[in-house]
Amino acid sequence: MQTPSEKTPVSKNTDLAAYAARMLGKFTANPVLVQLSARMLAAGEALQASQRSYETAARAILPARVDVKYEKLMSDQCVRRTQKKTELADNILPC
Q: Domain range for residue 27?
A: 1-60
Angle at 11 between CA 55 and CA 36, to 5 degrees: 115
Q: How many domains does the chain have?
A: 2
pTM for the full predicted model: 0.65
36 contacts: CB under 8 Å, gap ≥ 6? 24
Give dist(CA 78, CA 60) in Å, integer: 29
Q: Over the stretch 56-66, which tens digit does the pLDDT of each residue have?
A: 999 999 999 99
Rg of the chain's alpha carbons, rounded to an integer? 28
Same domain, 90 and 75: yes
Q: What percent of the chain has pLDDT over 70?
A: 95
More confident residue, 37 or 5: 37
Same domain, 48 and 93: no
Same domain, 71 and 52: no
Same domain, 55 and 78: no
